[in-house]
C-alpha cells in the first residue's frame, strides 16, 4: 500500500516538474509575462501592460482579449494575447494569430464587410493568417493600420454609402504614422469561393508591405513585385484564380502582364 502511495506521489511530482519546465521554457523569453498570474485583476494588470500600449483588443460580453508586442517595446518580436473574464486574467498565449486577427478586424474592418460580405470577411482572415509574421506585424500595426471598407457597384448604395470605424476612449492610440485604406467592391461577391478574393486582397496588402503607394510609384514593375510577394506567402493558386475571374477582359484597357520567361 505504501509503495502505491509513494508511486502516486512520485508521478504527481514528475508531472508537476514537467509542467513547470514547460511553462518556464515557453515563457523564458517573455520576462513581463512572468510578472502576471491567473486571477490577476485588470486594474493591477494595467500597471504592467498599460491598455494604451496594446496592439489590438476585443470585448465580447464578460470576456476580453488584449494583445501586446512582446518584448513590450518592440514591434518586430512576438505578440502575447491575454484573456480576461469578468475583469480577471484567465490565461495568455504567444503569437495567437487567429485571435489577433479577430481583434484587428473588429477594430479596423467595416461592419458592412463583417456582417454583410461573409466571403470577403473569410478571405481577409485567410490572407492575414497566411502571410509571413514579419509582414503581418507590419500591416496590423495600429500606428499605421490598414482599414478595410466596402463600396458598391449595385443597388442604391452605389450612389452613396457610409462606413464608420468607431473608437472608444479605452482604445490604444492609432494612425500616428498614417493610414492605408483598402476599398473592396461588392463585385468580389461574384466569386463562388473565397480563393479568388484572397488573391485580390493579398495583392493589395503586398502593395502596402512594399510601400508602393507611399513612394508614389505603381508601375508594371511594382505590380510584378506585389505578385511575386504574394506567391512567397503561398497564394500563387489564389492569384491565378483571381486573375482568371477578375482580370482583364476583352475590350478592357491593356494592363500589366507577367513577364514571359525566355526559352
pTM for the full model?
A: 0.79
pLDDT of residue 258: 55
Q: Which residues contact 200 (CB under 8 A, 6 or more apart)?
A: 123, 188, 242, 246
pLDDT of residue 180: 94
All structural domains of the chain: 28-95 (3.30.1450.10), 99-246 (no CATH)
Angle at 190 between CA 234 and CA 252, to 5 degrees: 85
pLDDT of residue 76: 53
pLDDT digit string, tens, across residues 115-174: 999 999 999 999 999 999 999 999 999 999 999 999 898 888 888 888 777 777 778 899
Instruction: For 142-157, give the DSSP string.
Output: TTSPEEEEEE-SSSGG
What are the average pLDDT values for consecutive 10-residue runs of the chain, which has 263 residues? 53 50 40 79 93 91 93 65 97 94 94 92 97 93 94 86 78 91 93 96 96 85 94 96 83 56 39
Percent of the chain with pLDDT over 70: 78
pLDDT of residue 218: 80
Amino acid at each position: 500500500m505504501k509503495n502505491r502511495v509513494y508511486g502516486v506521489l512520485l508521478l504527481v511530482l514528475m508531472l508537476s516538474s514537467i509542467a513547470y519546465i514547460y511553462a518556464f521554457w515557453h515563457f523564458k523569453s517573455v520576462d513581463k509575462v512572468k510578472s502576471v498570474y491567473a486571477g490577476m485583476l485588470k486594474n493591477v494588470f494595467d500597471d504592467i501592460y498599460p491598455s494604451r500600449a496594446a496592439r489590438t483588443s476585443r470585448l465580447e460580453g464578460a470576456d476580453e482579449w488584449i494583445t501586446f508586442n512582446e518584448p513590450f517595446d518592440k514591434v518586430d518580436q512576438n505578440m502575447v494575447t491575454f484573456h480576461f473574464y469578468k475583469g480577471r486574467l484567465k490565461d495568455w498565449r504567444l503569437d495567437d494569430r487567429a485571435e489577433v486577427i479577430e481583434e484587428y478586424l473588429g477594430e479596423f474592418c467595416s461592419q458592412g464587410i463583417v456582417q454583410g460580405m461573409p466571403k470577403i470577411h473569410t478571405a481577409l482572415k485567410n490572407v492575414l493568417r497566411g502571410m509571413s509574421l514579419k509582414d503581418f506585424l507590419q500591416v496590423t500595426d495600429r500606428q499605421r493600420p490598414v482599414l478595410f471598407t466596402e463600396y458598391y457597384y449595385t443597388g442604391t448604395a452605389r450612389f452613396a454609402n457610409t462606413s464608420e470605424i468607431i473608437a472608444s476612449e479605452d482604445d490604444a492610440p492609432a494612425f500616428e504614422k498614417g493610414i492605408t485604406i483598402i476599398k473592396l467592391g461588392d463585385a468580389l461577391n461574384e466569386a463562388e469561393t473565397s480563393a479568388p478574393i484572397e488573391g485580390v486582397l493579398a495583392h493589395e496588402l503586398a502593395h502596402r508591405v512594399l510601400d508602393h503607394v507611399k513612394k508614389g510609384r505603381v508601375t508594371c514593375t511594382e505590380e510584378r513585385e506585389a505578385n511575386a510577394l504574394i506567391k512567397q506567402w503561398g497564394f500563387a493558386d489564389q492569384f491565378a484564380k483571381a486573375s482568371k475571374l477578375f482580370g482583364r477582359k476583352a475590350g478592357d484597357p491593356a494592363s500589366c502582364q507577367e513577364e514571359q520567361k525566355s526559352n
